[in-house]
Amino acid sequence: MMSFAHGYAFDPSYGLSLDQLLQVEPPEPPEDFAGFWSARYEEACALAPAAEIHRCGWNHPRFQVFDLSYRSTAGVTIGGWAVVPAHGRISRGFVVGHGYGGRGGPDLDLPFDDAAILFPCFRGISRSRCAGIPEAPYQHVLCGIESRDRYVLGGCVEDLWLAVSALIELFPAAADRIGYLGISFGGGIGALSLPWDPRIHRAHLNVPTFGHHPLRLELPTVGSGEAVRRCQNAHGNVMASLAYYDAASAATCTAIPVQVAAALFDPAVAPPGQFAIFNALAGPKELFVLEAGHFDYPGKREQELALSAALATFFGPL
C-alpha cells in the first residue's frame, strides 16, 4: 500500500495494497441497466448538435484554438474549446472530459499533432453554466439524485455523446478514428458513456470516479463522493438512482480498448472505486499505476511525463 504524510482524518490508501485493489469486483447492475442507457443514447444521438466554432485569441505553435458551442439534451447549450493542428491534416479526433474543478481552457500539451480535439464543459460547469444546476461539486453531484431519469450525471453523459456528434459534424475526416480522454469526474462520465457509443474506438480514464457506489458510500473522501455519502446518511437510500450510474458496472459492458491510470492513494476519489472500474473492463485494457491522485507528492512530475508517453503509445495511430 502507498502512504504519504498528510493531514486527512482518514487514510487515503484505505489500507489496501495493489494486489488487494486488483481484486475489487464491480457491483451487480440493475437488470435494465443496459436498456436504460441504450435508450438514452439513441434519443441523444437523434439530436443535431448544431455545433459552432469561432477563432479565439489563443496563440500556440502546435494548435489553432477555437471557442466551441453545441446543443445538448434538455435544451442545454454546451460551451468549451476546439483545437486543430496548426500544421498538417486532421486524421483523427478526441473528446476530452474535465475534472470536477471545471475547465479554464484546452489542454495544449496532449501528444497528438494530427487530431481535432474538443474540450466540452459538462452541463452546469465552467462554460456550460445554466439555470437549475449548481456548479459547486458538492452540490452538482446531488442535483436530481432522487431520480434516475433526472440525475445530472445522465445529462453529462449525454453531453459527451453530443460532443462526439459535434466532432463528427465539424470534422468529418475524424469520424472513423475517435478517442476519449477523461480525468476524475470526466473519467467517470467517460466510463458511463463508452459502452453505448460505437463511435468511440479507444479511451483513457485518469483516476476515474463513480466506480462502485456501494463502496463509495462507505469510504470517507474530500471529493464529490463525500457529498453523496452524507446525503445517504442524512436522507436514506440513494442507491435506487446510483445503481444506474456506477462506472464499474458500465465497465463490464465496455469492449473497446481502455487505458486506466489508477492511484494507490487518493483523498478525493477512493482507489477501490478506481480499480473497480479497471478490473471490470470487459475488453482489452491497460493499467498505469499512479502513486497518488488529487495529491502533490515527490516524483509526481516524473509520473506525469511517463503517463504522457504511455498515452501516446496507447493511442498510437488509433
Residue 210: give its domain's CATH number: 3.40.50.1820
**Is residue 12 domain-resident?**
no
Three-state helix/strand/coil letters over the chain: CCCCCCCCCCCCCCCCCHHHHCCCCCCCCCCCHHHHHHHHHHHHHCCCCCCEEEECCCCCCCEEEEEEEEECHHHCEEEEEEEEECCCCCCEEEEEECCCCCCCCCCCCCCCCCEEEEEECCCCCHHHCECCECCCHHHHCCCCCCCCCCCHHHHHHHHHHHHHHHHHHHCHHHCCCEEEEEECHHHHHHHHHHHHCCCCCEEEEECCCCCCHHHHCCCCCCCHHHHHHHHHHHHCCCHHHHHHHCHHHHHCCCCCCEEEEEECCCCCCCHHHHHHHHHHCCCCEEEEEECCCCCCCCCHHHHHHHHHHHHHHHHCCC
pLDDT of residue 318: 60
**Is residue 5 domain-resident?**
no
pLDDT of residue 157: 98
Say how many domains are in the chain.
1
**Is residue 11 domain-resident?**
no
For residue 75, the enclosing domain spans: 18-311
pLDDT of residue 237: 82
pLDDT of residue 225: 95
User: 0.95 cut: is pTM over it?
Assistant: yes
| pLDDT 10s digits, 56-86 | 988 889 999 999 999 999 999 999 999 999 9
**Is residue 8 domain-resident?**
no
pLDDT of residue 284: 98
pLDDT of residue 95: 98
**Is residue 39 domain-resident?**
yes
**Is residue 318 domain-resident?**
no
Regions of the chain with pLDDT less than 50: none
pLDDT of residue 88: 87
pLDDT of residue 58: 85
